């Protein structure tokens, strides 16, 4: 099936003159992948409210998950311009595809890379980069949206474990996620991030149905 081409679209702002040949090659490779993999099935997925099968692993194969993560942790070590170009091309295919990739990259892999321990980096980042593990980001809440100051989710240090209480909603990837970076307030009211793994006691991820947008991605709650 053939779709519209971008080769004839004028570059009004001269963006291409600011890009390196590597940037252009990365952009073109992702554009070609979107044309061949996303476009033929995105309409069916969106209309039927289903995700694209094996999407995350396919995104991992083309290096679209955490591309700026260092090579030693499974990333490609690219710059942020490359990452932006990748997300732009995924968005052209469908916002649900871009959302799945950018949540995994910016909201799960980035905080683990920046603030996680060496053990956490080596445990999670390579598998997240390959799409073998799916991550979600738990900030938005039913009563306060994405306002950290009003956050109700909280946790207590119980000595040998943390006790986390709360609920999140409109969380991309949550019904499929293997881990979630959940933001909560400690006993002093300071917001901190906790990595929650699938299978931990009390951790559930019911799916949100009847969405009007991002219909080709799985969105739900973290409870």
Partners of 192 in the β-ladder = 184
Partners of 155 in the β-ladder = 164
15-130 has which fold? Butyryl-Coa Dehydrogenase, subunit A; domain 1 (1.10.540)
**Confidence at 207, pLDDT banded by 50, 70, 90:** confident
Q: What percent of the chain is modeled with pLDDT above 70?
A: 96
pLDDT value of residue 223: 77
Give the Cα separation of 177 and 184 in Å (integer): 18
**Confidence at 4, pLDDT banded by 50, 70, 90:** very low
**Confidence at 216, pLDDT banded by 50, 70, 90:** confident
pTM: 0.90
Per-residue H/E/C for 60-75: HHCCCCCCCCCHHHCC
Query: How do residues 92-127 score in pLDDT, each as one tens digit?
Result: 999 999 999 999 999 999 999 999 999 999 999 999
Domain 135-222, what architecture? Beta Barrel (2.40)
Mean pLDDT of all residues in 159-175 = 94
The mean of the pLDDT values for the chain is 92
Among 136, 131, 104, 124, smallest CA distance to 219 is for 136
pLDDT value of residue 42: 93
Domain ranges of the chain: 15-130, 135-222
**Confidence at 210, pLDDT banded by 50, 70, 90:** confident
């Amino acid at each position: 099936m053939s779709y519209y081409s971008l080769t004839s679209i004028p570059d009004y702002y001269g963006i291409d003159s600011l890009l390196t040949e590597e940037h252009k090659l990365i952009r073109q490779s992702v554009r070609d992948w979107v044309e061949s993999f996303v476009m033929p099935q995105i309409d069916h997925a969106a209309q039927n409210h289903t995700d694209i099968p094996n999407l995350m692993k396919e995104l991992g194969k083309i290096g679209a998950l955490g591309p700026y993560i260092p090579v030693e942790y499974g990333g490609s070590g690219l710059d942020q311009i490359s990452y932006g170009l990748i997300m732009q091309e995924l968005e052209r295919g469908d916002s649900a595809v871009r959302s799945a990739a950018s949540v995994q990259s910016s909201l799960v892999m980035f905080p683990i890379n920046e603030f996680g321990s060496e053990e956490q980096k080596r445990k999670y980042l390579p598998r997240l980069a390959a799409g073998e593990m799916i991550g979600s980001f738990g900030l938005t809440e039913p009563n306060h949206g994405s306002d950290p100051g009003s956050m109700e989710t909280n946790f207590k240090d119980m000595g040998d474990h943390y006790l986390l209480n709360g609920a999140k909603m409109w969380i991309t990837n949550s019904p499929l996620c293997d881990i979630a970076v959940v933001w909560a307030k400690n006993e002093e009211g300071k917001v901190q991030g906790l990595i929650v793994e699938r299978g931990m006691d009390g951790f559930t991820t019911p799916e949100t149905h009847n969405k009007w947008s991002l219909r080709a991605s799985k969105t739900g709650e973290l409870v």
